Amino acid sequence: EIESSAMSCHSGVTDNGREALLKRREFRILIFGSDRIALSLVEHLCSSGFSQVALVNRKSLHHPSQRISSMETFATILRTSDVGEMKISRLKELRREFSLFADDLQISSAVDLVITTEKPSADQLQRWMNEQTPHLVIERGFGGTVKIGPLVEPGKTPCLRCIELHQLSPELLTKREAPETSSAMTALITGIITADIANYSYSSSTVFRATTAEYSLRRF
């Protein structure tokens, strides 16, 4: 009822948001990433009614990011006693407990939206373009910043390569990974994305279509 009522004032909604909420059960989302934002998105999307959400970590099975670390225990469903367990198996178990709907639908091969919190490879981008799969890019920056977008819709918006060519991107003297986001920043970014996808799954409306927005705790 809470999630349904939250959609009741949206344009075109006449049934107190029931149809908008039920559409989330069939909306298929694939998340690529191993950071705090990716993990937190699984929790928030499932608790908002998205039943078909899968998390993919492209690193090897023996990579430390495949296991729960103390970094993932910030105000989420993961506890300190979970540290060391495999993320995938633990998330699968917990999804049944915090999902809004009781059913545990398996994500099919066709995907409605890809979200990536890591830089996609050229092969991945080409596959998403060929399969006409919309994809949303999230990029952690330095100085506590996070960029959301663009959301690319193949055949309708500029591709990610086109957008990157028109953006000034300062090169670092040394290659290094951007730091993890703080608890407050992770919650902020996760909330913004979940709210936007709730709209997108119902009306195809998104503020990130061919657009990038930068957020920080100093400017949110």
Predicted confidence (pLDDT) per residue in 141-166, tens digit = 888 899 999 999 999 998 888 777 76
Question: Region 39-59: what's the mean pLDDT?
Answer: 86
pLDDT in tens, 166-206: 666 655 555 677 888 888 899 999 999 999 999 999 999 99
Q: Taking the CA atoms of the chain, what radius of gyration do you get in angstroms?
A: 17
Residue 217: band (very low, low, confident or very high) from pLDDT cuts 50, 70, 90: confident
Mean of the pLDDT values across residues 120-139?
A: 92
**Residue 147 and residue 139: Cα distance in Å, rounded?**
5
What is the pLDDT confidence band of residue 106, given thresholds at 50, 70 and 90? Answer: low
- At residue 213, the pLDDT reads 93
Which region holds residue 94: left if phi is over 0, alpha if psi is between -120 and 50, else beta? alpha
Predicted pLDDT at 103: 62
Residue 135 predicted with pLDDT over 90: yes
To the question of pTM greater than 0.85 for the whole model, the response is no
**Which region among 36-40, 89-93, 134-138 has the lowest average model confidence (pLDDT)?**
89-93
Q: What percent of the chain has pLDDT over 90?
A: 32
DSSP string covering 116-128, please?
ESSPPPHHHHHHH
Separation of alpha carbons 90 and 162, rounded Å: 38
